[in-house]
Amino acid sequence: MKATIDGAGRLVIPKQLRDRLGLVPGEVDVEADGADLRVRPAADDSLDEQDGWLLIPASGSSITDDDVQALRDADQR
């Protein structure tokens, strides 16, 4: 999937990909991984405890086995 970086350095992530990965407007974490960029929803630093277990807040999106396979296939290209 191709995208364009504008003159100000902004990258528009295609809607289909944003929806599949649960990316919403707001802050994201971006890091370099060799020649690649990794973009993740910004982590919420809050943790809750329930019945002696630490709970990590869900991102609100679900990823299916097909989504994981598509991401793996895209990584092999």
- Tens digit of each residue's pLDDT (9 = 90 or more) over 37-55: 888 877 666 667 788 887 7
d(CA 77, CA 72): 9
Q: Residue 38's CB: how many other CB atoms inside 10 A?
A: 10
- pLDDT at residue 72 greater than cutoff 70: yes
Planar angle of CA 47, 63, 55, nearest 5 degrees? 15
- pLDDT at residue 60 greater than cutoff 90: no
Query: Shortest CA distance to 3 belongs to which of 29, 39, 42, 43?
Result: 39
